[in-house]
Structure 1
């Protein structure tokens, strides 16, 4: 998948801990466990994945204006 940024920094809304992660290109990531406070993050209503809700960069399909999570 060319043209998409694959690295995003996720920031936990509970503790504000953050970590750079590589986004999957073939699936949405619905859950993410914060390494700082162990909260399990889920997408906000209307978002397809945790990267779209809590990341510095939206997921690759959204960046490329393609359908996400089929």
Structure 2
């Protein structure tokens, strides 16, 4: 399982590699460059699935994201 995902800001194209948690979802992410608050796109479960180059760990495992 890959835990590093590079998030690309859709507004300014700034890229930052982040480490994904295996036990929680990340619904919000503030771009360090332009300060826009990223939220998942409709149909996506988290910011990594919407803006990352690697999807979140539950999706990598074939599970539903953030399922309790």
How many residue pairs get aligned? The number is 67
For 2:57 and 2:44, locate their aligned partners in 1 and report how far apart those are by CA, in whole Å: 13
How far has the Cα of 1:51 moved from its partner?
A: 0.1
- Residue 32 of structure 1, aligned match among 26, 29, 32: 29
Give unpaired runs (5+ residues) of structure 2.
none
Residue segments in structure 1 that go unaligned for 5+ positions in a row: none
Q: TM-score, normalised by structure 2?
A: 0.96
Q: Cα RMSD (Å) of the superposition?
A: 0.5
TM-score, normalised to structure 1, is: 0.93
> How far apart in 2 are the matches of 1:49 and 1:67?
11
> Which residue does 2:5 correspond to in 1?
8
Q: Determine the C-alpha separation between the residues in 2 that align with 1:7 and 1:36.
A: 19
